[in-house]
Amino acid sequence: DSLIVNEGERVIVGIGDGAQWRAVAIAFSLPCLLMLTVVVAGRFLGFGDDISALSALIATVVYFGMLYIFRSRLRVSYRWKVIGKA
């Protein structure tokens, strides 16, 4: 906000801390938790290791597919800003 830059200058852009943690959760934490949940549920329901693991992989592919489909909604929640000069 208080940083004065001119057109053509090299700058460093970033996102806020809250948005960074949200991005980490969406990209890493939630898929890991999803995989673990599906594997445990599969084993609890009596499926073998191979079916449980395959189900976890399929669930993760579906998860990232849904993220891709709703990427325009996710993009709105992340605002890039100039945080310094390069």
31, pLDDT greater than 90: yes
Residue 1 pLDDT > 70: no
Question: Vertex 34, ends 31 and 40: CA angle to 5°?
Answer: 140
Average pLDDT rounded to a whole number, residues 46-50: 96
Q: Which two tokens stand for residue 81?
A: 């800003």
pLDDT at 2: 67
Q: Which one of 10-14, 52-56, 82-86 scores highest in mean pLDDT? A: 52-56
Which residues have a Cβ under 8 Å from the Cβ of 67 and sit 6 or more positions away?
Answer: 26, 74
**What is the rounded distance in angstroms from the CA atom of residue 10 to the CA atom of residue 68?**
31
Are the beta carbons of 42 and 17 closer than 8 angstroms?
no
pLDDT given for residue 18 in this prediction:
86
Identify the pLDDT of residue 17: 83
